[in-house]
Amino acid sequence: MQRICLFPGTFDPITVGHLDIIYRSLDLFDKVYIGIGRNAAKVPMFSEDQRISWINEIFKGEPRVKAVFYEGLTVDCCKKVKAKFILRGIRYVNDFEYEKAIADMNRSLDHDIETIFLTCLPQYTSVASTLVRDVIRNGGDASPFLPDVVNTTVSNQK
């Protein structure tokens, strides 16, 4: 049986911190779905087409990584892609407390889906999409936090 996971988030934009978690998860899973969630409460900075384009470009040589869009419950997306695991990245203790509450809720909704937490490498603890968006919005240099393909797009939009 294949070990399939879903790595949910908005990926607005995808950052080097996300890539750290995704690449390291490939030793654990046979297939990793990057689940780009549509959150009605959030207005994204980058379009869905742009985000999927970046992910497809970054992982074009890695057939075990695929991006999907989803609305609604993460566990429903897991069922759709046949994932038995949800992957989440942890930067700080606060992240763990928040993510554990979500993991507990997901487990209540579907006992067959397990959440796996990977802590990020120390150099990525300050990399959060929210902060990166603020840097971009205010004309700062976000290049240290972004994959090259994302940085190129952002730089060309200035």
Q: Is 152 annotated as a binding residue?
A: no
**Of 64, 66, 84, 91, which residue is the catalytic one?**
91
79 is catalytic: no
Q: Is 129 annotated as a binding residue?
A: yes
Q: Is 22 annotated as a binding residue?
A: no
Q: Is 3 annotated as a binding residue?
A: no
Task: Calculate Rg over the CA atoms of the chain.
Answer: 15
Q: Is 74 annotated as a binding residue?
A: yes
Q: Is 46 annotated as a binding residue?
A: no
129 is catalytic: yes
Q: Is 126 annotated as a binding residue?
A: yes
Q: Is 57 annotated as a binding residue?
A: no
**Of 42, 60, 80, 137, which residue is the catalytic one?**
42
Distance of alpha carbon 73 from alpha carbon 85, whole angstroms: 14
Residue 9 has which token pair?
């988030």
Q: Is 125 annotated as a binding residue?
A: yes
Binding residues: 10-11, 18, 42, 74, 88-91, 99, 124-130
Binding residues for ATP: 10-11, 18, 89-91, 99, 124-130
Binding residues for substrate: 10, 42, 74, 88
Active-site residue numbers? Answer: 18, 42, 91, 129
